[in-house]
Amino acid sequence: MRTIWRGNRRALGAAGVTILMATSMFAASSIYDFTLNSIDGKPAPLADYKGKVLLLVNVASRCGYTPQYTALESIYEKYKDHGFVILGFPANNFGAQEPGTNDEIKTFCSSKYSVKFPLYSKISVKGDDQAPLYRYLTKEANSAVAGEIKWNFTKFLVDRSGRVVRRFEPAVKPDSAEMTTAIEQVLSQ
């Protein structure tokens, strides 16, 4: 069962909330069970990335960690030919640090940081309107990585089978030895 998330509950309306609640009753078996909208507003199934190693990151444009976009893009370029993809999920959950529209976010990321990895539409990563993907990541995917998202730029490493294998908190830099070693290990499997 795929869950389509198109924004927060206020934007969905009563019918959308009912659909969202109904789809969230089905247990996901991997991240491939989710479809979210791309930054351009088109459905973008995570199943399109089957067989790839993924790094899922909740991002924000006005955060102290925002300069991590540079390192994220760097590791994306370094490993993309080996089957590695970064997926960015803009979220405005922490200090209103992602207030822009999807168009503004896309423009900011491409002009300021030359981001080429895929970005998704803005979502919520915690709270009552938490996107089903992030509910899965923080509660169901793997007890070793479970727990509420504490801030922007929390990173989840996903293996080629769609299993969440590692979690890195915001202070861990994407190009740190800790992260690149983990990425290389998962890529070699």
Residue in 50, 49, 65, 55 with CA at minimum distance from that of residue 137: 55
Which residues partner with 143 through β-bridges? none
Tokens of 155: 């990173």
Which residues partner with 164 through β-bridges? 158
- 19, 47, 63, 71: the catalytic one is 63
Verify whether residue 63 is a known catalytic residue: yes
Residues sharing a CB contact under 8 Å with residue 176, sequence separation 6 or more, in sequence order: none
- Euclidean distance between CA atoms 170 and 178, whole angstroms: 13
Q: Which residues are catalytic?
A: 63
